[in-house]
């Protein structure tokens, strides 16, 4: 088995006098210009040496450092690329958030399917790493939101160039390390203080040698050389235990942390003062935090030492804090008192920036996916704000960061935050009751509330661990809160859609793979409904039909929420109905009722009425979401769609319900575009050119593969789409919104109809209105007012009936000829049969209990039913009594000790059961004693 030692031996190191060393503390190998260096330079092997002693010639702010990096690589023939959104699921379906710059080019560029937008390129990519959420504020260096400055080069081996979308070698390890060292020198760093630690990289089925670049104790860059792919027969065993072999492509994947570089240039105590100075000053003043000179010195020195504090590596945070306190000569409680409020301030600043990125890039808080992660960050930030005593509204704090980041949708961002804060308050009211109940359960057991219960409380109710701790403490119950709690919660929700959905099994996979891709005629002329083709293969399907593959077809296969075309395939001898059409790896399969014969020529005829209705609804879907974005905001994005022949629906991401006025405006704008009768055009541009021109909002209906993508344009609306469409917007006919509903938190479903389906739907609504008018004997215009009047009268009469029932129950509670009274547990029990419904039975039982008596009531109105009520302080369990009574009539029942109900089907035994009630009461009382 080969190792990677030789992969790290570069001519550059020999030419410039580098030495390969083994760290005396951790044992890692590293490269350095300092022949006398013994340690690798990274904490905890070494401490930060740049705090109060900046590592570069100039003090730079974030934007200045970013520009210095990008300009440096532009001067070296790299093309500057605009950053992608932080929501990686806008262009890929296997992850949710962008966690590294290489995410922008996965999977299509890294696997060679499509070329990169430039080669080589440089970028400063905003990223969010939820796994760092618990470290933020505590370590002095972790930020959940950060920019990864990077340069990338995509290379392919010479003998396989024809198989990939890029060819040849741009540059590799030698130039990558040289670029890095020369950047340090250009910024005025001392090269002798730079170390490059050998640290192989593994991820996503790929691997390669990598250098962690350390300067004055700070990890400032990672240089990854992605050259291996996982292979059970591979020659290289990596740190994940798997074996790997060489890839045909090899990629330079670097990452330079913008915030870290800025921090080192300023030499502040923590990274937060370097990147959020104004916001930290604002938060500190607002929270009323004041420090003496002595206290400031302690906090400053603690920050310098906190590089060793990392929740990922240190199991006991308090123990690590204790070590820092010992080194500073202060009590750990004193240190905690000084630093914890500042740690909270730092986290608020960072989380506000994270929210600005998320909401600014159009993520809508919800209970799933990226929306869940945004909600989690928002609620944690709100809790931190309340804990430290900041009285500024959360939407104002997020807006401060959104303004600094240059977002133009700041009003929407603030509106989303305000809406979410209100939802959070409502959630806390409901969830608090569950926490109290849980605390009571664990108080009885004497055990602490475990980690999995905490995570479930947060996942289901949004309850933060410290709130659980407060409530549990009131009842003397301990709580097991892990230091990485929020990272554990995020892990539940960070998989992309592909990982969740899985893949469908492809029928006849081996034989289909041997067939050529089907020529898709429906893209050449979407209005045409007939064609001729040759039958390439026929498979017997499991349900007795036949799966037919043609060399070309006009039949549209199911996809993108559009159902498949139906129709017929005919020869001179037979006509087969096409019941379904599917596509598998470019091969279109027609499910038909008969076998047209392999090698035969067939005439295909599409069901034209069905096709036209589906085309109208598909184009109308584009028009509706375009109109919704105009009315509701640019954050609106498609969460799913389904087109049908009678109606269609589109699910959109939006943070609140849609009002009737907004529905009318969406419908109005949609029909304006229909009446403009603009052309509906299709074209196949280069993928990167389309993304540059239109952004990732192209991918409302999914993410298509390939170098060229099909674009459908209707007026100003532009979307990548594989479906069939009308020729002009006027061909839609009309669009009628039928219904809107919230199908889950953060997702609204709009159901609509187009063309003749819209007329049919409107007529159905009118028919219902006229039927209602006939029933009410009024004109259609008067139906709403009349219905409201009838409803109010119905409610009033219902209330009268309830009042009369209560009066009747009170009257009967005074006793009756058929009521038995016995003494039980020091009080009177009334046993009585009243053949009434359950509501009246409960009302009478309540009336008896209010008089301080036990009520045992039975009814034969619907089978045999019982209600038992017990006054406070009386030692009789109503649930036990009802259970025994119900058993005697062939049923069951139960409830709390003070009020219970039940019954059974055998009404003939009702009287016998009631006759046994005194004995049952005495037996229950005796068991209580």
Q: Which residue segment(s) compose the domain that 320 sits in?
A: 274-438
Is residue 798 situated within a structural domain?
no
Ranges in the chain, pLDDT < 70? 1-2, 161-162, 307-318, 430-431, 459-462, 483-484, 486-487, 489-506, 804-818, 927-929
916 and 895 in a common domain: yes
CATH code of residue 120: 3.30.930.10
pLDDT for 817: 52
Q: Compute the distance between CA of residue 893 and CA of residue 859 in angstroms, rounded to an integer.
A: 14
575 and 623 in a common domain: no
Q: Which residues are annotated as a binding site for Zn(2+)?
A: 618, 622, 721, 725
707 and 569 in a common domain: no
Span 264-316, pLDDT tens digits: 999 998 999 999 999 999 999 999 998 888 998 998 888 877 765 554 554 55
Tokens of 645: 């022949």
Q: Which of 414, 438, 462 is the last residue of a domain?
A: 438
Q: Compute the distance between CA of residue 779 and CA of residue 261 in angstroms, rounded to an integer.
A: 75
Whole-model pTM: value is 0.78
Tokens of 68: 């210095």
238 and 95 in a common domain: yes
Q: Indicate the helix (H) or strand (E) that contains 154.
A: strand 145-156
Of 148, 149, 147, which is closest to residue 74 (Cα–Cα)? 149
Q: Which residues are annotated as a binding site?
A: 618, 622, 721, 725
Of 496, 369, 488, 497, which is closest to residue 130 (Cα–Cα)? 488
Is residue 498 situated within a structural domain?
no
- C-beta separation of 46 from 40 below 8 A: yes
Tokens 């554990």 belong to residue: 488
CATH code of residue 745: 3.30.980.10
Q: Which of 396, 420, 438 is the last residue of a domain?
A: 438
Is residue 464 situated within a structural domain?
no
Q: Compute the distance between CA of residue 688 and CA of residue 115 in angstroms, rounded to an integer.
A: 9
Cβ atoms < 10 Å from Cβ of 584: 18
285 and 247 in a common domain: no
Is residue 811 situated within a structural domain?
no
Of 554, 549, 556, 555, which is closest to residue 599 (Cα–Cα)? 549
Q: Compute the distance between CA of residue 586 and CA of residue 549 in angstroms, rounded to an integer.
A: 11
- C-beta separation of 85 from 116 below 8 A: no
pLDDT for 895: 86
Q: Which of 422, 438, 454 is the last residue of a domain?
A: 438
209 and 279 in a common domain: no
State how many domains the chain has: 5
Q: What share of the chain is helix, strand, coil (3-state, %, to 5)?
A: 45, 25, 35
SS3 for 735-799 is: EEEEEEEEEECCEEEEEEEECHHHHHHHHHHHHHHHHHHHHHCCCHHHHHHHHHHHHHHHHHHHH
Alpha helices in 75-162 (DSSP H): none
Q: Strand, coil or helix: what is 584?
A: strand
Q: Compute the distance between CA of residue 853 and CA of residue 829 in angstroms, rounded to an integer.
A: 6
Q: Residue 162: is it exposed, middle or buried by C-beta count within 10 angstroms (0-12/13-18/19+)? A: exposed
Partners of 855 in the beta sheet? Answer: 830, 869
Q: Compute the distance between CA of residue 50 and CA of residue 264 in angstroms, rounded to an integer.
A: 6
Residues 6 or more apart whose CB falls under 8 angstroms from that of 145 comprise 86, 126, 127, 128, 350, 353, 354, 357
pLDDT for 206: 85
- C-beta separation of 608 from 639 below 8 A: no
Q: Compute the distance between CA of residue 128 and CA of residue 363 in angstroms, rounded to an integer.
A: 13
Q: What angle do CA 805, 806, 810 make, to 5 degrees?
A: 120
DSSP string over 15-43: HHT-EEEE-TTT--EEEES-TT--S-S-T
pLDDT for 314: 46
Cis status of the peptide bond prior to 120, with omega within 30 of 0: yes
Is residue 176 situated within a structural domain?
yes
236 and 306 in a common domain: no
214 and 116 in a common domain: yes
855 and 726 in a common domain: no
Is residue 5 situated within a structural domain?
no
pLDDT for 160: 72
705 and 562 in a common domain: no
CATH code of residue 579: 2.40.30.130
39 and 150 in a common domain: yes
638 and 583 in a common domain: no
Span 727-779, pLDDT tens digits: 999 999 999 999 999 888 889 999 999 998 989 888 888 888 899 899 888 89
Q: Compute the distance between CA of residue 212 and CA of residue 30 in angstroms, rounded to an integer.
A: 9
Is residue 617 situated within a structural domain?
yes
Q: Compute the distance between CA of residue 832 and CA of residue 5 in angstroms, rounded to an integer.
A: 91
Q: Compute the distance between CA of residue 129 and CA of residue 220 in angstroms, rounded to an integer.
A: 17
Is residue 448 situated within a structural domain?
no
Q: Strand, coil or helix: what is 385?
A: helix
pLDDT for 204: 72
């Amino acid at each position: 088995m080969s190792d990677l030692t030789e992969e790290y031996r570069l001519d550059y190191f020999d030419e410039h006098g580098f030495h390969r060393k083994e760290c005396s503390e951790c044992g890692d190998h590293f490269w350095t210009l300092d022949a006398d260096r013994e340690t690798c330079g990274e904490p905890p092997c070494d401490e930060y040496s740049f705090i109060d002693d900046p590592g570069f010639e100039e003090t730079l702010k974030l934007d200045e450092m970013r520009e210095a990096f990008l300009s440096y690589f532009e001067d070296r023939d790299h093309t500057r690329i605009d950053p992608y959104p932080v929501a990686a699921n806008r262009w890929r379906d296997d992850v949710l958030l962008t966690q590294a710059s290489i995410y922008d080019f996965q999977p299509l560029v890294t696997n060679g399917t499509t070329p990169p937008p430039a080669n080589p390129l440089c970028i400063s990519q905003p990223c969010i790493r939820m796994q760092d959420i618990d470290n933020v504020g505590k370590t002095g260096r972790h930020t959940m939101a950060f920019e990864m400055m990077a340069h990338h080069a995509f290379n392919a081996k010479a003998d396989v160039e024809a198989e990939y979308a890029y060819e040849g070698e741009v540059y590799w390890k030698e130039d990558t390390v040289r670029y890095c060292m020369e950047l340090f020198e250009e910024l005025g760093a001392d090269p002798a203080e730079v170390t490059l630690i050998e640290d192989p990289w593994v991820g996503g089925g790929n691997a390669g040698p990598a250098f962690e670049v350390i300067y004055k104790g700070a990890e400032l860059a990672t240089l990854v050389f992605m050259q291996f792919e996982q292979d059970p027969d591979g020659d290289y065993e990596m740190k994940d235990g798997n074996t790997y072999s060489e890839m045909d492509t090899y990629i330079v994947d670097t990452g330079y942390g913008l915030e870290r570089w800025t921090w080192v240039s300023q030499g502040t105590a923590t990274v937060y003062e370097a990147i959020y100075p104004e916001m930290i000053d604002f938060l500190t003043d607002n929270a009323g935090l004041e420090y003496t000179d002595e206290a400031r010195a302690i906090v400053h020195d603690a920050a310098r030492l906190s590089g060793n504090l990392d929740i990922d590596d240190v199991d006991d945070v308090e123990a690590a804090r204790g070590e820092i306190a010992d080194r500073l000569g202060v009590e750990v409680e004193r240190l905690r008192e000084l630093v914890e409020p500042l740690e909270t301030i730092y986290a608020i600043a960072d989380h506000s920036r994270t929210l600005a990125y998320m909401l600014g890039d159009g993520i809508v808080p919800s209970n799933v996916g990226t929306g869940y992660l945004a909600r989690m960050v928002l609620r944690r930030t709100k809790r931190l704000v309340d804990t430290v005593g900041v009285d500024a509204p959360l939407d104002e704090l997020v807006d401060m960061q959104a303004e600094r980041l240059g977002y133009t949708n700041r009003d929407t961002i603030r509106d989303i935050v305000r809406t979410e804060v209100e939802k959070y308050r409502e959630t806390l009211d409901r969830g608090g009751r569950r926490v109290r109940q849980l605390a009571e359960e664990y108080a009885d057991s004497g055990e602490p509330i475990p980690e999995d219960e905490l995570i479930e409380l947060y996942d289901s109710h949004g309850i933060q661990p410290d709130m659980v701790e407060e409530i549990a403490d009131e009842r003397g119950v301990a709580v097991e809160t892990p230091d990485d709690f929020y990272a554990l919660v995020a892990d539940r929700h960070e998989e992309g859609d592909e990982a969740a959905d899985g893949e469908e099994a492809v029928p006849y996979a081996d034989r289909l793979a041997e067939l050529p891709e089907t020529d898709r005629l429906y893209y050449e002329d979407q209005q045409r409904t007939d064609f001729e083709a040759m039958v390439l293969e026929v498979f017997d399907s499991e349900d007795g039909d036949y799966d037919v593959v043609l060399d070309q077809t006009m039949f549209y296969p199911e996809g993108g929420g559009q159902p498949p075309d139906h129709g017929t395939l005919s020869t001179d001898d037979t006509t087969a109905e096409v019941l379904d059409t599917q596509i598998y790896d470019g091969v279109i399969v027609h499910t038909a009722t008969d076998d047209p014969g392999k090698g035969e020529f067939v005439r295909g005829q599409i069901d034209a009425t069905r096709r036209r209705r589906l085309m109208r609804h598909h184009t109308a879907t584009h028009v509706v979401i375009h109109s919704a974005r105009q009315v509701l905001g640019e954050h609106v994005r498609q969460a799913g769609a389904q087109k049908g022949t009678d109606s269609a629906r589109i699910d959109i991401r939006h943070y609140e319900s849609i009002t009737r006025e907004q529905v009318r405006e969406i419908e109005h704008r949609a029909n304006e575009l229909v009446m403009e009768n603009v052309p509906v055009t299709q074209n196949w541009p280069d993928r990167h050119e389309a993304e540059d021109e239109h952004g990732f909002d192209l991918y409302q209906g999914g993410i298509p593969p390939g170098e060229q993508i099909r674009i459908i344009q209707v007026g100003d609306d532009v979307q990548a789409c594989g479906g069939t469409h009308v020729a002009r917007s006027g061909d839609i006919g009309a669009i009628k919104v039928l219904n809107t509903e919230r199908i889950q938190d953060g997702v609204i479903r709009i159901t609509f109809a187009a063309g003749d389906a819209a007329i049919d739907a409107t007529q159905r609504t009118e028919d219902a209105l006229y039927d209602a008018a006939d029933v009410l004997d009024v004109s259609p215009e008067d139906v709403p007012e009349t219905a409201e009047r009838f409803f109010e009268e119905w409610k009033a009469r219902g209330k009268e009936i309830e009042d009369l029932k209560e009066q009747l129950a009170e009257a009967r509670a005074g006793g009756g000829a058929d009521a038995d009274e016995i003494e039980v547990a020091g009080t009177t029990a009334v046993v009585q049969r009243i053949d009434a419904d359950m509501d009246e039975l409960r009302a009478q039982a309540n009336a008896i209990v209010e008089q301080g008596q036990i009520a045992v009531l039975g009814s034969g109105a619907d089978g045999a039913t019982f209600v038992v009520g017990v006054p406070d302080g009386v030692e009789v369990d109503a649930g036990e009594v009802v259970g025994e009574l119900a058993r005697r009539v062939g049923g069951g029942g139960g409830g709390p000790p003070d009020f219970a109900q039940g019954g059974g089907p055998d009404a003939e035994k009702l009287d016998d059961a009631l006759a046994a009630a005194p004995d049952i009461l005495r037996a229950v009382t005796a068991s209580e004693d």
